[in-house]
């Protein structure tokens, strides 16, 4: 189990140092901003939605290692997925980081399982889910900034 933990920590560190899809999408048709005042995390999520499919998704901003890695892995996981897939994945991810995952929940999340340790640190749950909440706001087309508070 400690090997797995090390691996998870490595994945999170690696993504926080070199976040994927870290850029603006000038032609994005959905966009939202999210804050986590408790930690100072602040991201903008860009989304190119074509019908019901997420053609492209990216983010910009600043935050702690967990929030950045989560945003990075989220963009990787969601590209090419449908709106419904994105919602289902968020639900699973949310259960994982709040410690309510079903026994096979982590496996179906792939790399996102790296965040399972977050459930031991409730204050970090907001860091891990900020990008996801922001994405949901972008999907809904909400213009107001999302706050975890």
- Going by C-beta distance under 8 Å and a sequence separation of 6 or more, which residues neighbour residue 149? 36, 37, 38
**Residue from the set 29, 39, 48, 87 that interacts with Zn ion by CB under 5 A:** 39
Contact 79, 56 (CB under 8 A): yes
Q: Which residue number, 28 or 43, has a Cβ lying nearer to Zn ion?
A: 43
Q: Which residue number, 106 or 128, has a Cβ lying nearer to Zn ion?
A: 128
Interface of this chain with Zn ion, residues 48 to 77, rule: CB under 5 A: 64, 67
Structure tokens at 118: 């977050």
**Residue from the set 47, 49, 127, 135 that interacts with Zn ion by CB under 5 A:** 127
**Rg (the chain; Cα; Å):** 14
Q: Which residues bind Zn ion (CB under 5 A)?
A: 39, 41, 64, 67, 127
């Amino acid at each position: 189990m400690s090997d797995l933990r090390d691996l998870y920590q490595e994945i999170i560190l690696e993504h926080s140092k070199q976040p994927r899809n870290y850029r603006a999408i000038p032609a994005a048709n959905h966009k939202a901003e999210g804050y986590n005042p408790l930690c100072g995390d602040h991201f903008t999520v860009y989304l190119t939605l074509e019908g019901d499919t997420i053609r492209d998704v990216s983010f910009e901003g600043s935050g702690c290692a967990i929030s950045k890695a989560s945003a990075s892995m989220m963009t990787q996981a969601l590209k090419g997925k449908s709106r419904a897939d994105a919602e289902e994945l968020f639900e699973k991810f949310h259960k994982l980081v709040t410690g309510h995952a079903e026994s096979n929940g982590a496996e179906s999340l792939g790399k996102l399982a790296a965040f399972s340790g977050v459930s031991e640190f409730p204050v970090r749950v907001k860091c891990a889910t900020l990008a996801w909440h922001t994405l949901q706001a972008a999907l809904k087309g909400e213009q107001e900034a999302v706050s975890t508070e």
